[in-house]
Amino acid sequence: MAAAPDHLFNLRNNFYLGAFQAAINNSDVPNLSPDDAVERDSLVYRSYIALGSYQLVVHEIDASAPTPLQAVKLLALYLSSPENKESTISSLKEWLADPAIGSNPILRLIAGIVFTHEQDYNEALKHTNAGGTMELHALNVQIFLKMHRSDYAERQLRAMQQIEEDHTLTQLANAWLNLAVGGSKIQEAYLIFQDFSEKYQMTSLILNGKADAKDPETLANLVVCCLHLGKPSSRFLSQLKLSHPDHVLVKRASTAEESFDRAVQSVA
């Protein structure tokens, strides 16, 4: 039997990749189930939060809204002003202890985000470590990287790859881990962000990811890797020439080009 269409695919992708205004603008999705409608609303309100529109979220989500939206409202309250922090965290802990709603994945996700902001990583992991959604797994990767435990982050990534290797969050988590590990892994991170920039709207998340991975050695490694794989390397070589014209690989390439030009002229 064919899987049901994922009506929220584009909305989720926009949110994950930091295209928050696009997520808001394209959120009028027809034929949603009640659960999907709640997920849609939570993504839209989280997009507003990412854009700094905390008060809009606080005012629009009223006491009758379902638990996921109440959790998103708590995040808006927490981020909107320092004096709200203690009461927000107190409410959050109260809700998490309630057997009727404490296991809600969006509530657990918001708890993870808030306690990560507080740099209380052990408390964050209490609520996120069981996973259950791709966003919870991705947040676990971020928490473990903040704790400088790339070994645990890699385990989470493996779990995500088993669920869906091509998922946007799996690719992002892979890039975050590669950037944290460094060395030759940075070029793999660059290629992931480069792939995103070719497929989707350019966002600051993608630009910053590419910038983090764009040191001269990364670009040089990319040139060499592409040549080994028989793929075109001119784009990376051009970037290297523009950003680091004195790099040894640029000088070698220039020397080789000059030698080639001379050889062509001698037989012309």
DSSP 210-262: HHHT-SHHHHHHHHHHHHHHT---HHHHHHHHHH-TT-HHHHHHHHHHHHHHH
Residue 268: pLDDT above 60? no
Residue 1: pLDDT above 70? no
Collapsing DSSP to helix, strand or coil, 65 comes out as coil
pLDDT in tens, 101-149: 999 999 999 999 999 999 999 999 999 999 899 999 999 999 999 999 9
Nearest CA among 91, 94, 145 for reference residue 116: 145
Q: 197 near 172, Cβ under 8 Å?
A: no
CA angle 43, 49, 50 (to 5 degrees): 90
pLDDT in tens, 154-181: 999 999 999 999 999 999 999 999 988 8
CA 10 – CA 23 distance, rounded (Å): 8
CA 146 – CA 144 distance, rounded (Å): 5
Q: What is the pTM of this model?
A: 0.80
Higher-pLDDT residue of 64, 244: 64
